[in-house]
Amino acid sequence: MTSSGTTYRRYTNLAAAIHMLQSKQITLLSPEKWDDGNDRHFMEVYKDKRSLQTLVAICLAKDADTYGHWRVFSPNGDGVCVILRKDLLIASFEGVPGIRHGEVNYREIRHLRSDPPAVYELPFLKRWPYRSEGEYRVLYEHATEVAKAKDFPLPNGCITEVVLSPWMPEPLVASVKRTLKSIEGCSGISMYQSTLVKNPEWTSITDRAHNDGR
């Protein structure tokens, strides 16, 4: 598995992953339906105060795979984690008009009481309890263009792995992998099902547990 220090993870669903693999693009969407109401509000305030007609974004995880990432961002059997090379992805956004990207800054409310954030910080600011997400965020903004979504091309080799949901029924995994690998340019991408909730090696260790007399 690729080192988390050189990659970003995009947790999504199977339909979005197919679009990404077929179009060789990454899609930024409106934050209007984001689950976190605090996050939505910050983005709304940012859009309003900067008089923007378009504000779309994508959230990526920069840290290692966790149960929380799957449960929050890809909670169903059709969940997918697309692993992207960090260097190629960042380079593809450099110098693109309207693009901002960076790590999310996690702050405690008590600190913001005495030091309210600047408007420019809002899209990259989240509450301290969310810090385990290790989020990296890409935004596209425009003052006159009106769009609810925006596609940007992915460089060749940017997608390194496709991980299927740990809750995908096992009989479906092989067929889904074959279908994804049949997409043009995807035959060489590593694809497998996450073993996060049932790892054969981990469970086999318990079978060898010994009685130490206690």
Q: What is the mean pLDDT of residues 91-96?
A: 94
* Distance from chain centroid for Cα 158: 14
- Residue 1, pLDDT > 70, answer no
26: left (phi over 0), alpha (psi -120 to 50) or beta: beta
79-85 and 7-13: which strand pairing?
antiparallel
Q: What is the mean pLDDT of residues 129-157?
A: 93
Q: What is the mean pLDDT of residues 194-205?
A: 71
- Residue 137, pLDDT > 80, answer yes
Query: How far apart are alpha carbons 55 and 141 in whole angstroms?
Result: 5
Closest CA to 65 of 107, 26, 10: 10
Give the chain's mean pLDDT. 90
Residue entry with tokens 């092989």: 174
- What pLDDT band is residue 195 in, cutting at 50, 70 and 90? confident
Would you state the pLDDT for residue 199?
A: 63
134: left (phi over 0), alpha (psi -120 to 50) or beta: left
Distances (CA, A) of 110 to 40, 104, 125, 202: 21, 18, 14, 41
**Residue range 2-56, pLDDT digits in tens:** 444 899 999 999 999 999 999 999 999 999 988 888 889 999 999 999 999 999 9
- Residue 93, pLDDT > 80, answer yes
Residues contacting residue 188 through CB under 8 Å, at least 6 positions apart: none
Residue entry with tokens 């605090």: 38
- What pLDDT band is residue 62 in, cutting at 50, 70 and 90? confident
**Residue range 161-189, pLDDT digits in tens:** 999 999 999 999 999 999 999 999 999 99
* pTM of the full structure: 0.87
> Tokens for 49?
């105060």
Percent of the chain at pLDDT exceeding 70: 93
Which amino acid is located at 39 in the chain? D
